[in-house]
Structure 1
Amino acid sequence: MAALKSDVKAFIVQALACFDTPTQVSQAVKQEFNVDVTRQQVEQHDPTKRAGVNLAKRWVTLFEDTRKRFREETADIPIANRAFRLRAMNRFVEKAETMKNIVLAMQILEQAAKETGDMYVNRQKKADADEEPVVPTAVSVHVIDARKRDAEPERSPG
């Protein structure tokens, strides 16, 4: 078992604190640092596991701080949280690229752009003191029943 540099250890500890599995972390270390580490070696950096009971205090502190921040950022349901979804999309894009599936990778990247662009978040910009407040306008929707010939559009209430 090779001695790991501090930056690799920090990467491992933080990934474990974010609930990545030892296998996922081992693969990520290989990709990021080109260093082979076993799942067992990774598990020694998790203070919540029996293998990590002798972990140095500085790494335990880093783990606890990272885990605390991660939990604060995530809601009770991880999939409902942007950070969780973006991490998953990142893994999916990497997998799609290794499979040489560029179309899928581009679709995932588009979804990630939507996530970071607040497309699915119900937020409105705060108006400056000098500007008029932004008031949403009503949109008229016309519904046409394709089964009726020459049907007049039905107007939705609103």
Structure 2
Amino acid sequence: MATLKAECKIFIVQSIACYETPSQVVESVRERFGIEITRQQVESHDPTKVSSKGLAQKWVDIFNATRERFCKETSDIPIANKAYRLRVLDRMAADAESMKNYGMTADILEQAAKEVGGVYTSRLNAEHADKISGTAQNQSTG
């Protein structure tokens, strides 16, 4: 098992905190640091796993801080932004139309309409559930 430098350990802990799988982390470490590690070695740096029982507190703290930031800051991820998704869909629709693939163009336009209409957000689903619930209450009292 390779002895890992602090920079590599930080990378591993932060990658795990961002929900990357051990296999993904192994590949990323190989590409970024040029060293071979095992999935078990990765899991030994994951404070949510039993195999990390002896993990130093500083790594646990880095994991927790990274996980918290990752969960709160989706704005750092372009695809989490509606405008970005619509821009990509617009390019895809234009490409599909230029290839005279009208079926795909229609599918992309439908997806864009759903995106704009909020079909993919839980807020809309919650409002819809409230309306249904309110309708059911009105019918039962009326």
Which TM class, normalised by the smaller chain length? 0.5 to 0.7
Of structures 1 and 2, the one with the larger relative CO (CA 8 A, separation 6+) is: 2
Total equivalences in the alignment: 86
Question: What does 1:35-74 correspond to in 2, within 5 Å?
Answer: 35-74=35-74
Aligned-pair distance for 1:52?
1.2
Q: RMSD of aligned C-alpha atoms? A: 2.5
Asked whether the equivalents of residues 82 and 115 of structure 1 are also in contact (C-alpha less than 8 Å), the reply is no
The percent of aligned pairs where both chains have the same amino acid is: 45
The answer on whether the counterparts of 2:29 and 2:36 sit within 8 Å (CA) in structure 1 is yes
Structure 2 partner of 1:129: none
The equivalent residue for 1:115 is 84
In 2, Cα distance between equivalents of 1:46 and 1:63: 8
**Secondary structure, in 3 states, of the residue corresponding to 2:77?**
helix
- For residues 117-142 of structure 1, the C-alpha deviation after alignment (integer angstroms, 9 at most, x for no partner) is x958xxxxxxxxxxxxxxxxxxxxxx
Q: How far did 1:73 drift?
A: 1.4
- Partner residue of 1:29? 29
Deviation string for 1:52-93 (max 9, x for gaps)? 12111110000000000001113xxxxxx661748xxxxxxx
SS in 2 for 1:51: helix
Matched position secondary structure for 2:63:
helix
Unpaired runs of at least 5, structure 2:
89-142
In structure 1, what is the equivalent of residue 77 of structure 2? Answer: 83
Q: Write the mapping of 1:131-146 to structure 2, written as runs, cut at 5 A.
A: none
TM-score, normalised relative to structure 1: 0.49
Q: Which residue number corresponds to residue 11 of structure 1?
A: 11
Letter in 1 for 2:7: D
Larger radius of gyration: 1
Q: From the superposition, tell whether residues 84 and 66 of structure 1 become closer, same or farther in structure 2 (CA, over 3 Å).
A: farther
User: Deviation above 3 Å: which 4+ runs of structure 1?
Assistant: none
Alignment gaps of 5+ in structure 1: 75-80, 87-113, 121-158
Using structure 2 for the length normalisation, give the TM-score. Answer: 0.54
What amino acid sits opposite 1:42 in the alignment? Answer: V
In terms of fraction of residues, the more helix-rich structure is 2
**1:14, 1:82 → 2: CA distance?**
15
Show the counterpart of 2:99: none
Q: Distance in 2 between matches of 1:38 and 1:61?
A: 23
CA distance in 2, matches of 1:84, 1:67: 18
